[in-house]
A and B are shown apart, each in its own frame.
Chain A
């Protein structure tokens, strides 16, 4: 099956800093989603982005499908950005495969 690798596994920032999270995948995909899991376990979908670039406030994402990677950018980080960020990918008509996540801690 498809392999998903996220980096870095852990990231600690001071409030106000910027960060880039990476997701590499082993096969062509037509479904790629980024999620944020808050400290209480709730997963929120951030982006549906199988290709191209999207922005939502301080967050943006870019997927380069031909090179099999996606990047999630967080600017001017806030303590509420803390949690685990997951990348999940899928091929045509198939289920999502999740990476192991990046644990982000933003300190005040």
Chain B
């Protein structure tokens, strides 16, 4: 089945620790995105990538990093510099920036 997978479903972070969230798609999409959602709020863009080996900062990139070494993969690292990382993280992809976006099931990150 074609789609987007995210892992893990739940992730716990200790103070000062970096954690990496996985996002994989087999839809052959060029564009991929990471969003953050806080309770009761809309989605805010963290990073996006329009093509392999290229990515751009979104509205709230501070404390996060990404890589795009393969077309199907766009991992997000939440660094220790992100002081309030507790949130729901959603990955999406589309054929290009102006087309329909498809979302993965999300990862809930909690700080211990």
Q: Which residues of A contact B (CB under 8 A)?
A: 30-31, 33, 35, 40-45, 48, 86, 88, 90, 92-96, 98-101
Provide a sorted-by-A list of 15 A–B residue pairs whose CB atoms are within 8 angstroms: A30-B98, A31-B97, A31-B98, A41-B37, A41-B88, A41-B90, A43-B92, A48-B99, A90-B97, A90-B98, A95-B58, A96-B101, A98-B43, A98-B44, A100-B41
Q: How many A-B residue pairs have CB under 8 A?
A: 52
State the 7 A-B residue pairs at the shortest beta-carbon distance, nearest first.
A43-B103, A98-B42, A98-B43, A48-B100, A100-B42, A41-B106, A31-B98
Residue on A with the closest CB to B98?
A31
Count of chain B residues with a beta carbon within 8 Å of a chain A beta carbon? 23
CB contacts (< 8 Å) of B98 on chain A: these are 30-31, 90, 92-93
